[in-house]
Amino acid sequence: MSRLETAWRAIVSGSPPVAWAAPARAALSALTPLWRAGVALDQWRFRSGLMPTVTLPRPVISVGNITVGGTGKTTTVRWLVRRLAERGLRPGVLSYGYRADAGRAGAPWVLAGGPGAVPASASSCGDEPAMLARSMPGVPILAGRRRAAAGQELCRSFLVDVVLLDDGFQYLRLNRTVDLVLIDAVEPFGFGHVLPAGTLREPLAALRRADAMILTHSDSLTDEKRRALVERLRSLAPARGDVSIACARHRAVAWRDLTTGRRFPIHPIPEGTWTSFCSLGRPEAFQQTLSTLGVRVGQRIEFPDHHPYQTADLNKLQNLGAAAGNVGLITTEKDAVKLPGAGLGVACLVLEVDLEFLEGEEELLEAVVRKISAAGGSG
């Protein structure tokens, strides 16, 4: 994270405590009504019809969240694509392409799945769609700012039965069949405030729109705390008595050598001391995974979310690791797509993870499939 974001999180979370946090928190709280008013105005524009919405000819599943930061949306999209494909469905994916050029001037970038596909360069299309394209060859993935238009192009040009909208809970222009909302078990309610005094994108009442929820990073809680959090989530969606709630964690499944592309089992753990680096919304989740695996990390380097690596960054990583006598570098799949294909000149391992459910996977999947079938999807 950047220094500014680190300081902001320290203010809103109260950890670590700093002397000037109280007045800073009061100043941020004074701005919160402005954010709430902006959210309410945006929602009113679409509800009133002042801003037109788009309905695609295929069912749409939005995968989103209610807080800023990493809840595992892209990993969840990949899980959902694979599970729907097992049911005989043909999914396609829409992605925004943060900090990228994709579709900025008009037509979306087609990353995979058919004629006109372009190389999934993270600098062009964004790190998350590039990661999806690499791990799901053959699945049509469109990236662009105008996701409603991208969805129309996806349904027009590709054989898809269902459309997955990555990070779509607040994207009201595109009507959806299912709103799947991810809740981070570590920071479920944004420290009790919407931006900028907390990390909530919108008030908790927005969870009434959710058709299903996944409690991610739920292995960080005891069984008792996890059950209590699930009940709290149900109470926040009182109008949706049929909402499905599943609990999941991110499980490390393999290592990949950045230079050769060779994959090998997660165990045994690579020997020696390593330098870890990432650019995630919640970098501590990556560090926790490495710690749980037993990886010895000598240095932790964190960049802002979606950070586009420059030559100076790569030189810094190489030099710091070498100066400390570390074996090499370890990073994430999302970061790996932004690194040179020929490698970094030093050993670099990519940690691959998948979504693993502790409970509720099949029930949630059945609920999603029922809704898209009723809306006209096959399966």
Q: What is the pLDDT of residue 284?
A: 87
C-alpha–C-alpha distance, residues 96 and 143, integer Å: 5
Q: What is the pLDDT of residue 97?
A: 78
Helix (H, G, I), strand (E, B), or coil: what is residue 181? strand
Q: Looking up tokens 């006598």, which residue turns up?
A: 325
Q: What is the pLDDT of residue 79?
A: 97
Q: 55: how many CB neighbours lie within 10 A of its CB?
A: 12
In tens digits, what is the pLDDT along the chain, a chain of 379 residues? 567 777 888 888 887 777 778 888 899 999 999 999 999 999 999 999 999 999 999 999 999 999 998 789 999 999 999 999 999 999 999 998 775 555 554 566 666 665 555 555 667 777 888 899 888 988 999 988 889 999 999 999 999 999 999 999 999 999 999 999 999 999 999 999 999 999 999 999 999 999 999 999 999 999 999 999 999 999 998 777 779 999 999 999 999 999 999 999 999 999 999 999 999 988 888 999 999 999 999 989 999 888 889 889 988 888 877 776 788 999 999 999 999 876 788 889 999 999 999 999 999 999 999 999 998 765 5
The conformation of residue 199, written as its DSSP 8-state character, comes to S
Within the chain, all domains assigned CATH 3.40.50.300 are found at 60-249+356-374
The two three-digit tokens of residue 87, written as one number: 């049911």
292 phi and psi, to 5 degrees?
A: -65, -40
Q: What is the pLDDT of residue 346?
A: 86
Using alpha carbons only, give the angle 26, 27, 31 rounded to the nearest 5 degrees.
110
Determine contact, residues 364/242, Cβ cutoff 8 Å.
no
Q: Which of 62, 132, 119 is nearest to 341 (CA)?
A: 119
Q: What is the pLDDT of residue 144?
A: 85
Domain 250-354 CATH assignment equals 3.40.50: yes
Architecture of domain 60-249+356-374: 3-Layer(aba) Sandwich (3.40)
C-alpha–C-alpha distance, residues 4 and 291, integer Å: 26
C-alpha–C-alpha distance, residues 13 and 191, integer Å: 6
Q: Which of 17, 95, 99 is nearest to 63 (CA)?
A: 95
Cα–Cα distances in angstroms (integers) from residue 333 to residues 133, 204, 320, in the given order: 12, 31, 21
Residues in the chain: 379
Q: What is the pTM of this model?
A: 0.92
Q: Looking up tokens 């008013």, which residue turns up?
A: 37
